[in-house]
Amino acid sequence: MGILEGKKALIFGVANKRSIAWGIAKAMYREGATIALSYAGPALLKRLTPLAQEVESNFVEECDVTDDEAIDNLFDKVGSQLGNIDILIHSIAFADRNDLSGPYYSTSRKGFQLAMDVSCYSFTALVRRSVPFFNPGSSCLAMTYYGAQKAVPHYNVMGVAKAALEASVRYLAVDLGPLTHRVNAVSAGPIRTLAAAGVSGFKSMHSEFVDIAPLRRNVTNDDVGNAAVYLSSDLASGVTGEIHYVDSGFNIVGVTTPINEKQ
């Protein structure tokens, strides 16, 4: 029996098999959770349908997380079809491609608001609507990246949005703690996802990562999925407000030039 047996996980952000959210969905399904999926728009449904079948998900619903009415409609369906949930996964981020190539100061007001709305505020909006449906001891989990802590080339406004997201995790953890619920985030190393494709220079960053990270390897969505299982399970019942790194140790390194091991 898996460590999430009997729990229901509502997962936002599965776009294809490379998605971090897909790694999480697979791992949680393996550990016995009932999987419910929400996708951003009609264009993604064709790719999501066969994936939903792999994890036996009978809840596959569209939701525009920038629209409060759409969120309300989704949770009406959560109430009628699922009744309650134990796990909320937020693996959603978006910024205009033009804001991820030039200098950060070139970010437009509209672009800044879009990145903050989709990548940060939507987590708070989903948590707020989830609370009435949470079973005791439920878990909320967001996906972040090291660019929230340090300036990463071309990450720009997304780094600012992720920094705000990480602050939100801490404030939400304080709010939800007395209700017995936990809020954490996973900071994953670079993974070749649909979202990462929009970051200029990502391929170079991805290839150089293995020469710098202590474990000398890239991370996968399966690595993130396993960490998400832990953080969402009773094994992490005393953990909240944390940013948990799954990045082969990259975040601990002070000098980011490749190390010559033949000294």
CATH number for the domain that contains residue 132: 3.40.50.720
Average pLDDT, the chain: 92
Close Cβ partners of 23 (under 8 Å, ≥ 6 residues apart): 220, 221, 222, 223, 224, 225, 228
pTM tops 0.85, yes or no? yes
- CB of 29 within 8 A of CB of 89? no
SS3 138: strand
Residue 171 lies in a domain: yes
Total number of domains constituting the chain: 1
Structure confidence at residue 43 (pLDDT): 87
Residue 63 lies in a domain: yes
Instruction: Give Dmax (Cα) for the chain.
Output: 64
**Which range is least confidently modeled, 25-29, 146-150, 259-263?**
259-263
Residue 239 lies in a domain: yes
Residue 258 lies in a domain: no
Q: Which two tokens stand for residue 258?
A: 């490749």
SS3 263: coil
Q: Give the length of the chain.
A: 263
Catalytic residues: 145, 155
- CB of 8 within 8 A of CB of 84? yes
Close Cβ partners of 234 (under 8 Å, ≥ 6 residues apart): 3, 137
Domain of 42? 8-249
Mean pLDDT throughout 99-109?
92
pLDDT tens profile 170-183: 999 999 999 999 99
pLDDT tens profile 52-102: 999 999 999 999 999 999 999 999 999 999 999 999 999 999 999 889 888
Residue 256 lies in a domain: no
Q: Is the pLDDT of residue 262 over 60?
A: no
37 versus 212: the higher-pLDDT residue is 37
Structure confidence at residue 263 (pLDDT): 44
The pLDDT confidence band at residue 192, using thresholds 50, 70 and 90, is: low
Residue 117 lies in a domain: yes
**What does the alpha-carbon distance between residue 104 and residue 145 come to, in Å, rounded to a whole number?**
17
Residue 17 lies in a domain: yes
**Residues 4, 40, 14, 251: what is their CA dihedral angle, to the nearest 10 degrees?**
-90
Residue 255 lies in a domain: no
